[in-house]
């Protein structure tokens, strides 16, 4: 009984992962647009994640490695796009929650947030294997690509930066450049997350549900 409940929970978390992460990222972007309209660091890193995930899709077609036997999808599985997105976003978010960026906030809460984000990413990535979508090499390759790409983006924006903006180099750009970046990032994000949500098992299942007829009418 306990094993059955655990298995159902794992599959539920895996099924909802794409929709939950996509909606959370969209919410964070809208929040920062409202709170810090002159900052472009969040949409820039979001676009970076989308570009990395698109690169992963290209690699899937080039490598053309099958998923494990019995996988729900028949498309190539190397590398795992879920692992790419989760690890990229987790590393960037954990970096953004560093207490050094928020000296007026509770450091322990920020560290708990970092652990929570990294833990969710690790769990979501591992579930891709547990639920039969990918092999461990496919997940590890996706994780390496996501982490590596995120590290490069963070280094390009913050390594050696001595300015006063918490958003790093991108927030020191002229206003005109930031506006162009923001528009480009929004377009990239909308296209990417529309595609992700359409392919989400949870969204697909909800869309398949038809309203029941009222037999008492």
CB 76 within 8 A of CB 37: no
Cβ–Cβ < 8 Å for 84, 58: no
Q: What is the pTM of this model?
A: 0.83
d(CA 125, CA 137) in angstroms, rounded, equals: 12
DSSP assignment of 16-78: HHHHHHHHHHHHHHHHHHHH-TT--HHHHHHHHHHHHHHHHHHHHHHH-PPPPTT-S--S--S
Distance of CA 213 to the CA centre of its chain: 38
Handedness of CA 31, 37, 42, 48 (dihedral sign): positive
CA 184 from centre of chain: 18
Question: Cα–Cα distance between 189 and 216 in angstroms, integer?
Answer: 46
- Sequence-separated (6 or more) residues with CB below 8 Å from residue 163: 169, 172
The pairs formed by 175-184 with CB atoms below 8 angstroms and a separation of 24 or more are 175/38, 178/38, 178/40, 181/40, 181/43, 181/44, 182/40, 182/43, 184/47
Cα 177 from Cα 171, distance rounded (Å): 10
Q: Is 160 helix (H, G, I), strand (E, B) or coil?
A: coil
Query: How does pLDDT run along the chain (217 residues), one tens digit per residue?
Result: 577 888 888 888 888 888 888 888 888 888 887 888 788 888 889 889 988 988 999 999 999 999 988 888 888 889 999 999 999 999 999 998 898 888 888 889 999 999 999 999 999 999 999 888 899 999 999 999 999 999 999 999 998 888 778 888 888 888 888 888 777 777 776 766 666 555 555 555 555 555 544 444 4
pLDDT at 186: 73
């Amino acid at each position: 009984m306990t094993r059955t409940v655990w298995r159902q929970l794992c599959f539920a978390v895996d099924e909802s992962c794409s929709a939950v992460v996509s909606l959370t990222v969209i919410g964070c972007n809208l929040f920062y647009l409202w709170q810090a309209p002159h900052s472009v660091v969040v949409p820039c890193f979001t676009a970076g994640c989308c570009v990395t995930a698109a690169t992963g899709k290209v690699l899937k077609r080039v490598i053309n490695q099958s998923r494990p036997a019995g996988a729900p999808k028949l498309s190539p599985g190397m590398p795992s796009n879920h692992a790419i997105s989760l690890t990229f976003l987790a590393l960037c978010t954990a970096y953004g929650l560093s207490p050094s960026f928020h000296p007026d906030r509770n450091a322990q809460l920020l560290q708990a947030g970092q652990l929570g984000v990294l833990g969710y990413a690790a769990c979501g990535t591992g579930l891709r294997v547990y639920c039969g979508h990918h092999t461990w090499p496919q997940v590890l390759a996706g994780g390496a690509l996501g982490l590596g790409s995120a590290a490069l983006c963070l280094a390009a924006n913050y390594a050696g930066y001595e300015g006063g903006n918490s958003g790093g180099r991108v927030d020191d750009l002229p206003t005109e450049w930031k506006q162009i970046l923001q528009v480009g990032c929004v377009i990239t994000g909308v296209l990417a997350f529309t595609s992700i949500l359409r392919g989400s098992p949870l969204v697909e299942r909800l869309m398949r549900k038809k309203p029941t007829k009222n037999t008492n009418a």
